[in-house]
Chain A
Amino acid sequence: MATNSAGSNDPTVNRRQTKRPKYSKFTQQELPACKPILTPQAVISAFLIVTAIFIPIGVASLIASRDVVEIVDRYEAACVPSNWTDKIAYIQSGADKTCKRELHVEKRMKSPIYVYYQLDNFYQNHRRYVKSRNDEQLRDAGKGNSTSGCDPESNVDGVPIVPCGLIAWSMFNDTYSFSRNNNNVTVNKKGISWKSDRDHKFGSDVFPKNFQNGTIKGGASLNETIPLSQQEDLIVWMRTAALPTFRKLYGKIEVDLEKGDVINVVLQNNYNTYSFSGKKKLVLSTTSWLGGKNDFLGIAYLSVGGLSFFLAMAFAIVYFVKPRQLGDPSYLSWNRNAAGQ
Chain B
Amino acid sequence: MMKGWDGIQSSVSSSSRSSSTINNRVPSQSVRLGRVQPQAPTFRTIFCNDREANLPVRFKGNSISTTKYNFFTFLPKGLFEQFRRVANLYFLSISILSTTPISPVSPITNVLPLSLVLLVSLIKEAFEDWKRFQNDMSINNKKVDVLQDQRWESMSWKKLQVGDIIKVKQDGFFPADLLFLASTNADGVCYIETANLDGETNLKIRKALEKTWDYLTPEKASEFKGEIQCEQPNNSLYTFTGNLLIQKQTLPLSPNQILLRGCSLRNTEYIVGVVLFTGQETKVMMNSMNVPSKRSTLERKLDKLILALFATLFMMCFIGAIGSAIFVNKKYFYLHLDSSEEGSAQFNPKNRFVVFVLTMFTLITLYSTIIPISLYVSIEMIKFIQSTQFINKDLGMYHNESNTAALARTSNLNEELGQVEYIFSDKTGTLTRNLMEFFKCSIGAEVYGNGVTEIERGLAERNGMKIEENRSPNAVQEKGFNFDDARLMRGAWRNEPNPDACKEFFRCLAICHTVLPEGDEKSPEMIKYQAASPDEAALVIAAKHFGFFFYRRTPTTIYVRESHVEKMGKVQDISYEILNVLEFNSTRKRQSVVCRYPDGRLVLYCKGADTVIYERLSDSNNDIKKITREYLEQFGSSGLRTLCLAYRELHPNVYESWNEKFIQAKSSLQDREKKLDEVAELIENDLILIGSTAIEDKLQEGVPRCIETLQRAGIKIWVLTGDKIETAINIAYACSLINNDMKQFVISSETDAIREVEDRGDQVEIARFIKDEVKRELKKCLEEAQSYFLTVSGPKLALVIDGKCLMYALDPSLRVMLLNLSLNCHAVVCCRVSPLQKAQVTSMVKKGAKKITLSIGDGANDVSMIQAAHVGVGISGMEGMQAVMASDFAIAQFRYLEDLLLVHGRWSYLRICKVVIYFFYKNLTFTLTQFWFTFQTGFSGQRFYDDWFQSLYNVIFTALPVIIVGLFDKVAHSLQQFLISGC
Contact = CB atoms under 8 A, between A and B. Distances in A.
A103 to B, nearest CB: 28
Interface string A130-161: 10000000000000000000011100000000
A19 B104 CA distance: 56
Contacts of B621: none
A229 B223 CA distance: 99
A276 B970 CA distance: 57
A276 to B, nearest CB: 5
Given A4-B261, A7-B288, A153-B336, 10 more contacts: A3-B261, A6-B285, A7-B284, A10-B196, A19-B398, A23-B395, A126-B335, A129-B334, A170-B333, A334-B714
A27 B390 contact: yes
Nearest to A1: B135
A36 interface: no
B335 A11 contact: no
Interface residues of B, number: 76
Contacts, number: 167
A341 B394 CA distance: 39
A128 B973 contact: no
A22 interface: yes
A334 B396 CA distance: 29
A3 B136 CA distance: 9
Contact of B983 (A15, A152, A329, A341): A329
Contacts of B261: 3-4
A263 B861 CA distance: 98
A219 B981 CA distance: 72
A218 B334 contact: yes
B138 interface: yes
Contacts of A243: 936
Interface of B: 64, 66, 104, 132, 135-136, 138-139, 142, 173-175, 193, 195-197, 199, 201, 261-262, 264, 284-285, 287-288, 329, 331-337, 339, 341-344, 346-347, 362, 389-390, 392-396, 398, 400, 403-405, 407, 714, 792-793, 881, 885, 903, 907, 936-938, 940-942, 968, 970-973, 980-983
5 contacts: A6-B287, A35-B973, A122-B334, A128-B940, A277-B331
Given A3-B262, A21-B394, A23-B395, A126 B937 contact: yes
A334 B712 CA distance: 12
Interface in A1-18: 1-7, 9-12, 15, 18
Contacts of A126: 332, 335, 937-938, 940, 942
Given A20-B403, A26-B389, A341-B793, A128 B335 contact: yes
B981 A327 contact: yes
A272 B334 CA distance: 10
Contacts of B393: 21-22, 24, 27-28
Given A5-B136, A23-B395, A12 B196 contact: yes
A302 interface: no
B913 to A, nearest CB: 17
B195 A11 contact: yes
A4 B336 CA distance: 72
B448 to A, nearest CB: 39
Contact of A18 (B347, B403, B903): B403
Contact of A123 (B142, B332, B336): B332
Contacts of A28: 393-396
B341 A152 contact: yes
A20 B392 CA distance: 10
Given A5-B136, A128-B335, A12 B193 contact: yes
A19 B405 contact: yes
A275 interface: yes
Contacts of A23: 395
A30 B173 CA distance: 43
Given A1-B135, A7-B288, A27-B389, A123 B331 contact: no
Interface residues of A, number: 55
B387 to A, nearest CB: 12
A62 interface: no
B971 A35 contact: yes
A15 B199 CA distance: 12
**In the complex, the 9 A-B pairs of residues with the closest C-beta atoms, listed nearest first:** A6-B288, A170-B334, A3-B173, A127-B940, A21-B393, A27-B393, A4-B196, A4-B262, A152-B339
A6 B940 contact: no
A6 B177 CA distance: 14
A3 B940 contact: no
The residue among B201, B331, B332 with the most chain A CB atoms within 10 A of its own CB is B332
A1 B284 CA distance: 16
Contacts of B407: 9
Contacts of B362: 127
Given A33-B968, A33-B970, A123 B394 contact: no
Given A6-B66, A7-B197, A125 B942 contact: yes
Interface in A208-264: 216, 218-219, 242-244
Contacts of A130: 942
A5 B937 contact: no
Contacts of A20: 395, 398, 400, 403, 405
A31 B968 contact: yes
B345 to A, nearest CB: 11
A12 B389 contact: no
B139 A166 contact: no
Contacts of A182: none
Nearest to B171: A12
Contacts of A242: 936
A341 B390 CA distance: 39
A47 B714 CA distance: 37
A276 B132 contact: no
A127 B355 CA distance: 13
Contact of A10 (B195, B398, B972): B195
Contact of B173 (A4, A9, A11): A4
A2 B196 contact: yes
A125 B344 CA distance: 17
A325 interface: no
A334 B982 CA distance: 9
Contacts of A327: 981
Nearest to A23: B395
Nearest to A244: B936
The residue among A27, A127, A129, A329 with the most chain B CB atoms within 10 A of its own CB is A127
Contact of B132 (A5, A129, A169): A5
A29 interface: yes
B579 to A, nearest CB: 35
A4 B331 CA distance: 77
Contacts of A329: 980-983
B201 A29 contact: no
Contacts of B968: 31, 33
Contact of A129 (B335, B344, B395): B335
A4 B341 CA distance: 68
Given A7-B284, A12-B195, A127-B937, A275 B333 contact: yes
Nearest to B409: A8
Contact of A21 (B285, B334, B395, B982): B395
A272 B333 CA distance: 9
